[in-house]
Copies of this chain bind each other. A is one copy, B any other.
Amino acid sequence: MSSNHRPGFTGSTLDREDLVRTNPERLAALAGSLSARLLALDGIDPILDDQGLLTWKSMAESDPGSELIFLGVQDGKPRFTEVRPDLPQGAARSRAIFRMLDILPPEEASTYAAARSLIDWHVRHGFCAQCGTPTEIFRGGWGRNCGQCKAEHYPRVDPVVIMLAEHEGRVLVGRQPAYPPQRYSALAGFLEPGESIEEAVARELHEEAGVKALAVRYVVSQPWPFPSSLMMACVAQVESDALTIDYTELEDAFWVTRAEVAAVMNGEAGAKFLPPPPYAIAHTLFRRWLAET
């Protein structure tokens, strides 16, 4: 099984050109250039072409009331997205994106992820958290500032640890009640203020499964734009395979062998569970773990 599976939502060829963001004249020139392209969206979901790729349209099609976000430059073309004034607040609850992710290549999903996380952040952060005043977009869409108290606000990225507990060659898989039937995955949770990645992994394994981490190794990461997580996948050696499951978080959890995980990832008949989809970091984590000697 290949270990060089590209994690979901990674590999965009977009050059973010962050120096442009702080240069209003350059930004205006790029937005007004004939080569500039606007990401085509339906609500907050992408519109795919007949090859299953993102579609881009002319800047003339942007809504005059929109806030423009500069995504970067790709194939020599400045790329933008917009926060439309008519975007419904519940747009991010649509499930349509998950069907598209079955066909959208990771590098295209990567470009889209930045746009989606930013749009969703702007929609939910129109007011200054420090003083309550309406804020304005700045830095080419990579922040909002407050004219009243002068606070600057930047888009959130919420780090999440996702991990396989490992004990004597077996790893722990679990399922949350909201998962599709038969789906199991690695355990996961938000990293909190005052924690390292390694400490967050140990805390989550303790809280959710009652196991004690002895050593934690980082494996791989990806963004997860629902709305704006950074998924950091790890493997943790644990002291014992005795479990104390937190049933408020997990519906079920059990230990699986390498052969059992291989059967799952190969889609064999009789496999013990259904794997996470290829665009989820747990999928990459299982593949990387299988590839370890």
Contacts and interface: CB of A to CB of B under 8 A. Distances in A.
Interface of A: 7, 9-10, 12, 16, 18-19, 110-111, 113-115, 117-118, 121, 124-134, 142, 151, 153-159, 190-199, 203, 207, 218, 220-223, 225, 228, 230, 232, 248
Nearest to A7: B196
B191 A157 contact: yes
Given A193-B114, A194-B9, A195-B223, A230 B159 contact: yes
Given A9-B196, A10-B196, A12-B194, 20 more contacts: A9-B194, A10-B199, A16-B192, A16-B203, A19-B207, A111-B194, A115-B194, A118-B194, A121-B193, A124-B129, A124-B151, A125-B129, A127-B131, A127-B132, A128-B129, A156-B193, A157-B158, A193-B228, A194-B223, A218-B218
Contact of A232 (B193, B197, B199, B223): B197
22 contacts: A9-B194, A12-B194, A16-B192, A19-B207, A113-B193, A114-B192, A114-B195, A117-B193, A124-B129, A124-B151, A127-B129, A142-B192, A154-B158, A156-B158, A156-B193, A159-B159, A194-B223, A194-B225, A196-B222, A196-B223, A197-B230, A198-B221
A259 to B, nearest CB: 28
Given A10-B196, A232-B197, A130 B127 contact: yes
A191 B114 CA distance: 12
B130 A132 contact: no
A19 B244 CA distance: 15
A276 to B, nearest CB: 17
Given A153-B129, A157-B158, A159-B159, A196 B221 contact: yes
Contacts of A157: 158-159, 191-193
A131 B220 CA distance: 37
Contacts of A222: 196
A221 B197 contact: yes
Report, nearest first, the 4 A-B pairs whose CB atoms are least far apart. A114-B194, A117-B193, A127-B132, A125-B129
Most buried by B among A19, A127, A134, A248: A127
A110 B10 CA distance: 32
Contacts of A218: 218, 221
A151 to B, nearest CB: 7
Contacts of A190: 154
